[in-house]
Structure 1
Amino acid sequence: MAQRPISATLNQIIAKRLSRRQAMQGLMAGGAMVALHRLPGVAWAGCDDPEVVPEMDPTSFGFRRLDDAIQVNHRVAEGYTVQTLLRWGDGVLADAPPFDPFQQSPEAQSKQFGYNNDFVTYMPLPVGSHNPNHGLLCVNHEYTDAAMMFPKAQRASESPEDLKRMVETEQAAHGHSVVEIRRQGPGAAWQVVKRSRYNRRITAWQSKLQIRGPAAGHADLRTLDDPTGTVCVGTLNNCAGGTTPWGTVLLGEENINAYFGGNPARTTEPQRYTSMGIQGRPSYRWHEVQPRFDIEQNPNEPNRFGWVVEVDPYDPTARPVKRTALGRFKHEGATSVVLPDGRVAIYSGDDSAGEFLYRFVTQERWNPNARAANRDLLDQGSLSVAQFSEEGFVRWIPLEHGQRGLDASQGFASQADVLIQTRRAARVVGATPLDRPEDVQVNPISGRLYVALTNHTQRQQADGANPRAPNPYGHILELTPPMGEGVEHGAERFLWNILLLGGPLDEASGSAYNAYVETFGNWLAAPDNFAFDRQGRMWIATDQGGAQLKRGHADGLFACDLQGMGRALPKRFFSCPVGAEMCGPAFTPDDTSLFLAVQHPGEVKGSSFENPASRWPDFAAPLPPRPAVVVVTHKQGKVIGG
């Protein structure tokens, strides 16, 4: 039976919000405050001063929202504590030397916690359990910033050896960390197990990764260093990620363009580089030290990055694998969900303005009784891309060689070509460009899919799924798969609607929704990453970049109901220190601990190692600020959020 779209137009959403807001105002004006207080899902924020009128809170969350001010330190809702668990430079391997930011080396950094932590996930021990007190913390290290990471004398040195050491240290600070952690129980402090056999660093310096799937061995992946096209040194710009049902971690390689020097115009196929953002203006100096990062000398090296990497955190001897069947683009996230028939879907956004939303579905079924049987499950399956209609439907279009123009006439000689040039293939089949699709998450309760569209400041024309032009604040889409005997994440068509719009109250736009937010919650901007608690409530991390200072609006973590009177009402729970963005987040299985990654603290325009905007979290000059993973707990050991 055909399903009616949840909401076909933005006007319907605004009208719905307006009606809700007017109803609430009418209740308050008519003396119905007591009755409203007794409604399910409505609570009063705590207030000890009888002279202060308590704030009505239509959400299910039992904490008082924070204001949006930016400060040099982090802030968390009253009743919660924040423990700094792992900072850049803390020891990961047993023989890691003490952190010394004035004497850095790749040898030391490859044994220490890396820089700019992004994706975080908690993997319980033993494998397959739901242990909330003992597990592995798996953390991506996205990128480095030399100005914040190294003293001026080292940055300014003209010595080739100093440059080489700096570049290799940056490479060692990239990648991924696996760290065993434990606690005595809810409310107790977490401890790093320093001599764990699981503790591991995967870096861009010396770690060797396998390349598997349809594109492995393709001529465009072969280099002088690897004529087989099946082995790659390092993984780059690991942003958001995901986990699999069989207990592995998926790392998304995102902004790989920043690392490659050389002029695309002096290559035989410049479009292959420019389509991934490689413009000959790299953010790093790696190509000056290692020729493999110079596209004029090694034209195929970029093709070996931009993939999803699978890591087995429970087996430190297992080599990470780049899974080419999932396509090559700027991966933000890799979220898995099991289909009713046992196959597995992986969702991923391509984090650039005007790029696309993707879904991969495995060919074979997941085997829950034999973990090893799933080892190569991600090497075969179907990759598709989303096309949004104005009527409220999403169609998943397969990216299959020989179909819909993906053939030799368009430069696709094989399925491997389609996967290496996924962005171009998506355009050929007519996918819908989106406003920077970042994290994609599936609600474990409802089965609905949520997509963070961070912003698109250059958008010229609005459309259904992108309702504002330009769109500086971003929004969140809600997608509903068919609901039968199970949630059909493998279906060809979904429904879609807009869950919420970012940004402050704007009377000129007539956005009643934002007026509702201003009255009862916090507005947010640049939604980036999601997590869900056991009740199916959404927790939204934001990343405004340099815009946060201009707006006077801190990045942080917002709690958000998806049903009831508080639906789509963000409520600020955590604020980052100045300059930082919020990454993660990740809960323990019992929701009593929440892991958050604070990335690039103190990094604002003009800041440096010597003169940062904040020295978070140590606040001990001359130490620079240190990206870190913190863990939030309730002071009484209760579940996060209430």
Structure 2
Amino acid sequence: MDHKHITDDPEIGNKAEAYEAFDDIPTNPNLEATIGDVINARYGRRDLLRGMLGVSAAASLFGSSALIAPQRALAADARNSRYRFDELTQGNDQTHHIAAGYDAEVLLRWGDPITADAPEFDVMNQSAAAQLQQFGYNNDYVGFTPLNEQGTRGLLCVNHEYTNEEVMFPGLGRQDKQGFAGMTKELIDIEMAAHGGTVVEIARDAAGKWSLVRNSAYNRRITPLHTEMIIDGPAAGHKRMQTKTDATGKAVIGTLNNCAGGMTPWGTWLMAEENFHGYFWTDNRDSNGKADLSAHADTASKKRYGIPSGWYAWGQYYDRFNIDKDPNESNRFGWVVEVDPRSPNSKPVKHTALGRFRHEGCETTISTTGKLVVYMGDDNRFDYQYKYVSNGTVSRSGGANSELLSDGTLYVARFDADGTVHWLPLVHGEGPLTAENGFASQADVLIDTRLAADALGATPMDRPEDAQPRGDGTAYIMLTNNTRRKTDQINAANPRAKNAFGHIIEIKEEAGDHAATSGTWSILVSCGDPDLAEVGAQWNPQTSESGWFSSPDNCAFDAQGRLWIATDQGRKWGKTGKSDGLYALETEGDLRGHSKLFFRCPVGAELCGPYFTEDSETLFLAVQHPGTDGTKSLKGFARASTFEDPATRWPDFDPKMPPRPSVLVVTKTGGGKIAF
């Protein structure tokens, strides 16, 4: 919990940037065979380090066109692309931009009322009571489930990941540099009310315009301040899940730091709890300011999860977020939460069978035998890729299907240098997962998923974030970056030291079955500027200057199985000069590895979502934390944003309003399918 070396860094402009920099320090001690080592063994270390691939490796990554393609500058139009749009020009400024012929309109902004009796947003007089009826902060994952056959009415499900106090509250400033001196219980309650998620009904009119149905009975907020939830699965009721306020270990208030997520085949919404460790506090510190865990029986577990980190002051006012007063509460976060958006009075469920870690996403598919499969990444440097396979099969009865998330097997990935991926079962009693090694039951395996995966020898990855499965047994894994990887830690699946730009791995499961326990893997692209050999980037040669990207984060397929990538460079976008955005990425044929820029964010923002409707005529995008990340790199501004002095006032551009995280609706001008 010693933040001083981070908060005093002059390059860091806000708490969120400091929090991310602090998490650059890995908690995984199991680094003998990282994904970089595996990639190195597969493709050849010397060629990868100098940014070059041999003929056979280039062909395996990009197809035969990589060997005969003309110079990138001469063939940037890629006329045979499956994505039909004129590429947007890269850049970074105060507003958003989209490819010609498309419209991107604001649907929901932080503070917008979502219920019939909600008060209008008053940024100078915020309250928790008002925020509980208004759209939350920092919208991340976006999902949609239709309410009619035409798909013109439906429920939008949106995660709210975290808050940026510096641009959210007037006169407050950076709290991590001030010991949270300005944070009152009232402000913390507003923060808590702004976290979690939102369900709203939306409708499309005859002209194709989407809008909020404000009086809908479906509309509700889900927050760590007030929402009661059920804990189920193997860890439910375990003594390590029991707290002072919940002796059963089966009930918890709320969810937090909800990053990516997913929608199930039966229309429920999966919320992934990611960086939950930062919300837990301790008053017990050693002389260096670090947390003193000597009084805790599960010291190894807390250290492996980075608990406590103390990036929020909630533990000063709520005992459940103070590990000195309630040591087990942190075990009740880091799970996947299922919400039934069609049942506004139902309690969300935390499914412990899916494991406890920093869940970035939880995208679902159905195996060849009808089993539910969920792909999940643990978003931390040197952590792991997971998937879950249900024991039962998906049925037409939606209510019964939720039981599939309680009864199944969780697996962690090992990527071998020969191009094979093995899924290792996290099952108590198998291999090292025994009482002698600290796992007395399946509950222990799941509460300490990271420790169990360490014991199995899973491959440490470069920040595995979102993962998207396709129906043909293929899955794509987003590896955002890892500047902590050393030269002697590179491997076949994580091939670059100081990997500042990330890469994407393609998995093909055996026999095209997502429930398979083995398959093959390859690198789809290694991100960064392909014109700089020292970066080691690999793209299809026809990718333009605007088309290459850095730090892949979220991803989605449209109805035609085409892959779209959203990026998150954080404060380091200055290294590329590009804002974050949405890219169309070819995965097949002669253009495999070819990328085109479709949308870009305003300065300081990260792009989240994306989500296509089934007819491919609407695309939902979430623009998170506009005007915050890396604003010191913005020419003409070059300073940290504050409420009073932000780098942008997007999307309102009202001098009385700070920047507001928002969900956008993208449609083709005049109607039609996107990118056709």
Q: Taking structure 2 as the reference length, what is the TM-score of the superposition?
A: 0.86
In the TM superposition, what are the counterparts of 1:82-481 in structure 2 within 5 Å?
Answer: 82-126=104-148, 129=149, 131-152=150-171, 163-185=184-206, 188-262=208-282, 263-268=291-296, 269-278=298-307, 280-368=308-396, 370-444=397-471, 446-460=472-486, 461-481=489-509
d(CA) in 2 for partners of 1:365 and 1:575? Answer: 40
Amino acid at match of 1:276: Y
d(CA) in 2 for partners of 1:81 and 1:347? Answer: 32
d(CA) in 1 for partners of 2:202 and 2:528? Answer: 38
d(CA) in 2 for partners of 1:27 and 1:503? Answer: 15
Partner residue in 2 for 1:632:
666
d(CA) in 2 for partners of 1:465 and 1:558? Answer: 22
Amino acid at match of 2:304: S
In the TM superposition, what are the counterparts of 1:515-554 in structure 2 within 5 Å?
Answer: 516=541, 518-519=543-544, 522-554=547-579
Stretch of structure 1 that moved more, 306-315 or 283-292: 283-292
d(CA) in 1 for partners of 2:183 and 2:266? Answer: 43
Structure 1, residues 579-621: CA drift from partner, whole Å, max 9, x if none? 0000000011100010000000001352111111111000001
Structure 1, residues 442-490: CA drift from partner, whole Å, max 9, x if none? 124x33100000000010121011011121100000000123xxx3111
> The residue matched to 1:513 in structure 2 has which SS?
coil
Pair 1:593 & 2:613 matched: no
d(CA) in 1 for partners of 2:482 and 2:629? Answer: 21
Q: 1:219 to 1:191 in 2, by over 3 A?
A: same
Amino acid at match of 1:228: T
1:13 shift after superposition: 3.5
d(CA) in 2 for partners of 1:104 and 1:158? Answer: 22
Partner residue in 1 for 2:633:
none
d(CA) in 2 for partners of 1:366 and 1:511? Answer: 43
> 516, 522, 525: which one pairs with 1:491?
516
Contact 1:524 1:542 in 2 (8 A): yes
d(CA) in 1 for partners of 2:260 and 2:542? Answer: 27
Contact 2:77 2:542 in 1 (8 A): no
1:553 shift after superposition: 1.2
> The residue matched to 1:333 in structure 2 has which SS?
coil
Structure 2, unpaired ranges of 5+: 1-38, 283-290, 631-639
Contact 2:409 2:426 in 1 (8 A): yes
Amino acid at match of 2:300: Q
d(CA) in 2 for partners of 1:545 and 1:26? Answer: 31
Contact 1:110 1:173 in 2 (8 A): yes
Contact 2:273 2:336 in 1 (8 A): yes
Contact 2:377 2:467 in 1 (8 A): yes
1:224 shift after superposition: 0.6
Partner residue in 1 for 2:58:
14
d(CA) in 1 for partners of 2:129 and 2:392? Answer: 41
1:566 shift after superposition: 2.3
d(CA) in 1 for partners of 2:400 and 2:493? Answer: 39
> The residue matched to 1:318 in structure 2 has which SS?
coil
Pair 1:25 & 2:54 matched: no
1:282 shift after superposition: 1.5
Contact 2:167 2:643 in 1 (8 A): yes
d(CA) in 1 for partners of 2:73 and 2:113? Answer: 55
> The residue matched to 1:584 in structure 2 has which SS?
strand
Partner residue in 1 for 2:655:
621
Stretch of structure 1 that moved more, 160-169 or 355-364: 160-169
1:491 shift after superposition: 1.2
1:514 shift after superposition: 4.0
Amino acid at match of 1:364: G
Structure 1, residues 153-177: CA drift from partner, whole Å, max 9, x if none? 5988999997011000000000010
1:372 shift after superposition: 1.9
d(CA) in 1 for partners of 2:457 and 2:602? Answer: 41
> The residue matched to 1:528 in structure 2 has which SS?
strand
1:638 shift after superposition: 1.4
d(CA) in 2 for partners of 1:356 and 1:246? Answer: 28
d(CA) in 2 for partners of 1:580 and 1:180? Answer: 26
Partner residue in 1 for 2:16:
none
Query: How many equivalent pairs are there?
Result: 604
Amino acid at match of 1:75: H
Amino acid at match of 1:114: G
d(CA) in 1 for partners of 2:195 and 2:438? Answer: 34
In the TM superposition, what are the counterparts of 1:548-567 in structure 2 within 5 Å?
Answer: 548-567=573-592
1:274 shift after superposition: 1.7
Q: 1:519 to 1:18 in 2, by over 3 A?
A: farther
Contact 1:59 1:567 in 2 (8 A): no
d(CA) in 2 for partners of 1:466 and 1:374? Answer: 36
Contact 1:264 1:273 in 2 (8 A): no
Amino acid at match of 1:376: E
> The residue matched to 1:500 in structure 2 has which SS?
strand
d(CA) in 2 for partners of 1:430 and 1:390? Answer: 14
Between the two structures, name the one with larger relative contact order (CA 8 Å, sep ≥ 6): 2
1:270 shift after superposition: 2.3
Stretch of structure 1 that moved more, 333-342 or 17-26: 17-26
d(CA) in 2 for partners of 1:155 and 1:544? Answer: 21
Pair 1:611 & 2:645 matched: yes
Amino acid at match of 1:272: S
Q: 1:470 to 1:371 in 2, by over 3 A?
A: same
Contact 1:58 1:520 in 2 (8 A): no
d(CA) in 2 for partners of 1:308 and 1:165? Answer: 28
> The residue matched to 1:332 in structure 2 has which SS?
coil
Q: Taking structure 1 as the reference length, what is the TM-score of the superposition?
A: 0.90
> The residue matched to 1:140 in structure 2 has which SS?
strand
> The residue matched to 1:361 in structure 2 has which SS?
strand
Runs of 4+ in 1 over 6 A off after TM superposition: 26-29, 154-162
> 595, 598, 601: which one pairs with 1:570?
595
Partner residue in 2 for 1:57:
79
1:376 shift after superposition: 2.0
Contact 1:92 1:200 in 2 (8 A): yes
> The residue matched to 1:413 in structure 2 has which SS?
coil
Contact 2:262 2:364 in 1 (8 A): yes
> The residue matched to 2:277 in structure 1 has which SS?
helix
Q: 1:512 to 1:545 in 2, by over 3 A?
A: closer
Cα-Cα RMSD: 2.4
> The residue matched to 2:209 in structure 1 has which SS?
coil
Q: 1:321 to 1:18 in 2, by over 3 A?
A: closer
Q: 1:184 to 1:219 in 2, by over 3 A?
A: same
Stretch of structure 1 that moved more, 455-464 or 598-607: 598-607
